[in-house]
Amino acid sequence: MPASYRPVGTITRGTTNPNRLRRADRYVAGPLAPVLRHATDPLVVDLGFGAAATTTVEMSARLLRVRPDVDVVGVEIDPDRVATAQFFARPGLSFRRGGFEIPIPGRSPAFIRAFNVLRQYNEEEVPAAWELACSRLAPGGVFLDGTCDEIGRRATWICCDATGPQTLTISMQLGSFDRPSDVAERLPKALIHHNVPGERIHRFLSAADAAWLALAPLGSFGARQRWVAMCARLRAEGWPVLHRESRWRLGELTVAWDAVTAHR
pLDDT in tens, 150-209: 999 999 999 999 999 999 999 999 999 999 999 999 999 999 999 999 999 999 999 999
Query: What one-character DSSP code corresponds to residue 3?
Result: T
Given this model, what pLDDT does residue 264 score? 47
Compute the residue count for the chain: 264
Cα 14 to Cα 11, 50, 82, 99, 209, distances in angstroms: 8, 4, 12, 14, 32
Q: Over 31-68, what HEC string results?
A: CCHHHHHCCCCCEEEEECCCCCCHHHHHHHHHHCCCCC
Q: What pTM was estimated for this model as a whole?
A: 0.94
Helix count (H) and strand count (E) of the chain?
A: 9, 8
Beta bridge partners of 129: none
Mark the ranges of the chain whose per-residue pLDDT is less than 50.
264
Return d(Cα 142, Cα 73) in angstroms, integer.
15
How much of the chain exceeds pLDDT 90, in percent? 91
Give yes or no for a contact between 5 and 138, defined as CB atoms under 8 angstroms apart. Answer: no
For the chain, strand residue ranges (E) read 43-47, 71-76, 93-97, 111-115, 142-148, 154-161, 164-172, 252-256
